[in-house]
Structure 1
């Protein structure tokens, strides 16, 4: 079957993205567009500013694109009846039992009331557990200062600086929740808790479980929480948005950390993540392997948030006007631009990566770069997504 993508329009996307590289806005990138069984890959620039050429097999830190992977891992256990969506997580995560909740976000840490109910697995998957990223305007609230001091605050991935899972959870458990469970969407922390929950439920490390149940069945050979020395020559240098080096190939990902972050710790390649995105496109199947049942994938990719929860989220202004949140990933709910097709799902990585699966167009698309950024602020993200959809020619 023909991909329905026009070569002249794919060339246009190449030229636009090459312009970003030639102007020095980022060292390089790899793009992949798969439609109707055909895959188009474009490789631009270098792995580092003064480094070797970028290649299709270059390994990138995918940061928050780890979240959908961790969510799939949790749902594998739900399907096996080893976890249940609406059961409290207290048995496996006793550190989260009997929560106290701040009376207001800027209250002292001891100004609390009891949680109205326990935290559930569904709360972790939908980021409604009552603890997560705060975008503080003005004076920093005491809870945020305390979370930063305890090394449990939300920030860029830093695997070498995070305590082991038991100690991390102990510290988190000593802090009150920011909001009542189920009250609002707060980014990130739920995914890290999911990783600890999976590890305790299975008796395996998060990496061990994901490798056995997801990466090996999908053929994701380069997706790990660390990069061994023999792969280091394919590992891109990571840069901040201002071009300052964030991490070198022999830096924080040079070995698998004790805390394997379900919220942001993985590295991967475009072809590895294509296998993951295609599995979800095909409702849980990849080749002859069934990872999840079709109804499970449909649940994961359905918006789970109420209008009130979206309004209270404090995320990028206007973000939830056209999007919702499923399990570990964003879901498009309204058509507001060329690349916002309702039913599309995916997520981005703050260190420079982006993924969407669009069932209505039979499409999986990926852009992996090594310069930190988000679609809301980074022109190469926006130009890539415009480029993908303007290339459709059927």
Structure 2
């Protein structure tokens, strides 16, 4: 394993399988008892403990007790260390958990290659489209409260979408025609709204409007204002007829603002992050946490990595630190840690429950994690799409490890995650490479996790 056994501290065996997370007050009670005679040492250890306590309060267990071979898990170490040594990945973090306990949690490589700073376990990563799952949960929270229905037309909340147009390719380029039916919130959740990222038949109109790609952190306007301008642009398909990946979840973020009366950042903090203990998840990095933000790298032609330039845009470091902090992108805006995102996925895997709190109804989680695409809507072989998640529907056609009913997604900076309820398995993988690296690390990760299961 990449992490050595933790020492026995203050009467607590940290290598024992734990069924309850260490409580902060219990920890410091032991600290006071053991160190009251040594003030200087006491102060030093307090500072160190406080800096890492949040990332260390996850439940952990011996991998073998969770059905893993420790020897086989070590193959993860070798494979990802080799990617770093070859200059294909700067560094990253892998978290593998089963039955609500972490079996493997390892940072590898560097947070920043130029300085040589190693990747810490509490590093912050731009999670881009992994924001979508969290915002989708926000919409379902509002449905559970009776404040909206996912069958509702989008125009009920943003009237500018009452009548939309669609661009259709033809011999002369494209023609425009009225949408055959209104866009619904369910269309947005399943990416069948017909709204892309601007790369469609009417691309020049999207470019003229200044709305292209998924990046919003540099915008000086609230997300709702951007979304209202999207309504007048030609869409790429008729609602419900095709999967088109794009601004659908950004629009859902704007719907949350309209329905809740709160900005998206406040709503998510109060309704999702605080209940789940996600203390390191933000749209913009707080000044006192900037030193933990992993650096973005661009793959170079011929091999190797180069630090992405500063500034705004999709292949840069982005404005997640110095941005205007006005646009909260529900489709791609969040920064988080592996431990925080794992807490969110724990809630989903436990059918809406986390640490005794029922954030979502179990039936809501069931609804979100089944395929909602009709047979007439094309998608990848063996997979469909639920309400915010890609879902495995056919193992044979999917063609790789996993289980039917498992769900996943990823982000533009090359991060990914998946949940396999049948195996009670959660995997989080964060790195920062844009555009995506040449290496098949996502597929390799999946293979190496499942081959390590031996029960």
Regarding TM over 0.5, the answer is yes
1:328 matched to 2:388: yes
1:53 matched to 2:118: yes
SS in 1 for 2:267: helix
CA contact (8 A) 2:236 2:244 kept: no
How far has the Cα of 1:198 moved from its partner?
Answer: 0.5
How far has the Cα of 1:239 moved from its partner?
Answer: 1.8
Tell me: CA distance 1:188–1:100, structure 2 relative to 1, closer, same or farther (3 Å). Answer: closer
1:206 matched to 2:264: yes
Distance 1:266 1:362 in 2: 26
TM-score between both structures, scaled by the size of structure 1? 0.90
Trace 1:132-281 onto structure 2 (pairs within 5 A): 132-133=196-197, 141=201, 143-155=202-214, 157-161=215-219, 163-242=221-300, 243-246=305-308, 251-255=318-322, 257-281=325-349
Aligned to 1:294, which of 362, 368, 374? 362
CA contact (8 A) 2:100 2:346 kept: no
Distance 2:439 2:360 in 1: 34
Q: Which residues of structure 1 form unaligned runs of 5+?
A: 312-319
SS in 1 for 2:378: helix
SS in 2 for 1:17: helix
- The two structures, once aligned, show a CA RMSD in angstroms of 2.2
How far has the Cα of 1:367 moved from its partner?
Answer: 0.8
Q: Which residue of 2 aligns with 1:317?
A: none
Distance 1:20 1:258 in 2: 37
Distance 1:5 1:148 in 2: 50
Distance 2:307 2:330 in 1: 24
Distance 1:308 1:290 in 2: 36
Bigger Rg, structure 1 or 2: 2
Q: Which residue of 1 aligns with 2:106?
A: 42
Q: Which residue of 1 aligns with 2:176?
A: 112
How far has the Cα of 1:326 moved from its partner?
Answer: 0.6
- 1:80-128, CA deviations, whole angstroms, 9 ceiling, x for partnerless residues? 111111111213211211112234378767x433222211111111111
Q: Which residue of 1 aligns with 2:66?
A: 3
Structure possessing the higher relative contact order (Cα contacts under 8 Å, 6 or more residues apart): 1
SS in 2 for 1:346: strand
Distance 2:391 2:105 in 1: 25
1:12 matched to 2:75: yes
- 1:202-224, CA deviations, whole angstroms, 9 ceiling, x for partnerless residues? 11111100000000000001111
1:29 matched to 2:92: yes
CA contact (8 A) 1:132 1:153 kept: no
Distance 2:108 2:454 in 1: 24
Distance 1:67 1:101 in 2: 24
Trace 1:314-393 onto structure 2 (pairs within 5 A): 320-335=380-395, 336-372=398-434, 378-393=439-454
SS in 1 for 2:416: strand
Distance 2:250 2:309 in 1: 21
Q: Which residues of structure 2 form unaligned runs of 5+?
A: 1-60, 312-316
Worse overlay, 82-91 or 355-364: 82-91
Q: How many residues align?
A: 378
